Amino acid sequence: MPFSHFGFREEILRAVQKAGYTRPTQVQAAAIPKGMAGNDLIAIAQTGTGKTAAFVLPMLHRLSEKRAEKPRGVRALILAPTRELALQIMENIRTYGQFLRVRVAAIYGGVDEDEQIAILKKGVEIIVATPGRLIDFIGRLKVDFEALETLVLDEADRMLHMGFLPDIEMIVENLPKRRQTLMLSATFPKEVESLARRFQYQPAMVQIGRRSNPADTVAQCVYEVQGHLKGLLLLELLKQPKFKRVLVFVRMKDGADRLTDFLKSSQVDVVKLHSSRTQEQRMKALQDFKDGKVQVMVATDIVARGIDIEGVTQVVNYDLPVNPEDYVHRIGRTGRAEAEGEAISFVPRGELNLLNILELFIGQRLDRKKLRGFDYHQVVPQSPLTEKPAKRDWRKRTREMELKREGKKPTPRAVKKAAGKPVPKRDRS
């Protein structure tokens, strides 16, 4: 089905064509008609499936088709869990809306607010925001939402996990009741269902693939590894030429710091992304990784969620996620938009229970791999009692040693001869 099938304005079709998209992805094919019709919608789609365009394209079309009721009000609001995702959505809106006249602002914490306030005061039609900073602004700046037509909650499950529910509730209280509400979520837990019931009106539901199922384009495996050897195992893997752009997830910020230092000291080009870094540092790290200036980015879940980086060849779960939903998100960073990717998880023996929970969650057994010397079967050295070589081997080895001591070469022939065994004569003819 071509994009022209949806009845988009020519300016949008041109932008889509310029972006190089030839046909809609599955979630776009299912969600765009509902979005265009003005219906409320829940889309359960894995990351990397093209879900941003699935809500942005109809939103842009509807905004540009209809004249604004108020000349300066905000007409669409998109809430996203992290600054990186908010910025990325804004960039996408700019790309898809490049032939239209839309003013869009991203509102997020961690940066000087003056610039954001100035943009808001000038008036924008679309706001992409993280809930915390927006709440702060709504109170102080009296942002006018009376003309709002569309609300989008992106990564709804993640926002709830991050404890944004009270903020979201407060924001929605400020919005007109008559609006289109689109909700996107990688998973569909009860909390998201209840949010939909409260904020949406007869939503259509679009579900791509099985619930909680990681992107199908990602080959997944786990490595058995002793905890203290994880860094060395990673180094070993990074030597393979196919490890070109590798996103490594760790659980804690200080873990990210330590691993980054270790990789740097081993001459790996690496950047790190976690919430204690300044916004500027985070953006620079992300850009260097996106531009291919570094081979590896080490990140924690909180910041890496939802961000779109082209050509991530491997996602490495250096630490297994405690929350299995995070696994789905993490590995969604590779194999995006139907490209092939690899997801590798390191599993120390003490975390086998986490692996079991994870496999139950995704409904799939992950392929086990080990690299000699790193796996935990090597923890206890092989015992000479249990692994005693056959008797004959002992004798053979003793003879070899004797020959060596005599300064002779322990060739198989010489060993046989020393044992008094018949040795076939050499063919000298």
By CB under 6 A, name the binding residues for ligand AMP. 21, 24-25, 28, 47-53, 308, 310, 336-337
CB of 332 to ligand AMP, least distance (A): 8
One-letter amino acid of 158: R
How is residue 41 written in tokens?
């919608």
- Of 55 and 199, which has the nearer Cβ to ligand AMP? 55
- Of 186 and 268, which has the nearer Cβ to ligand AMP? 186
CB of 359 to ligand AMP, least distance (A): 25
Helices (H), 226-323: 230-238, 253-265, 279-290, 301-304
- Of 47 and 345, which has the nearer Cβ to ligand AMP? 47
- Of 55 and 223, which has the nearer Cβ to ligand AMP? 55
Going from the C-alpha of 131 to that of each of 42, 174, 303, 311, 334, the distances in angstroms are 19, 13, 15, 30, 27
CB of 19 to ligand AMP, least distance (A): 6
- Of 111 and 309, which has the nearer Cβ to ligand AMP? 309
Residue 422 has what DSSP assignment?
Answer: -
- Of 169 and 310, which has the nearer Cβ to ligand AMP? 310
Number of C-beta neighbours around residue 338 at 10 A: 13
Can you tell me the distance from the alpha carbon of 377 to that of 383, in angstroms, rounded to the nearest whole number? 12
CB of 43 to ligand AMP, least distance (A): 11
Among 200, 195, 203, smallest CA distance to 178 is for 200
CB of 56 to ligand AMP, least distance (A): 8
CB of 80 to ligand AMP, least distance (A): 11
Can you tell me the distance from the alpha carbon of 366 to that of 360, in angstroms, rounded to the nearest whole number? 11
DSSP H or E stretch at residue 347: strand 341-347
Q: What angle do CA 332, 287, 289 make, to 5 degrees?
A: 60
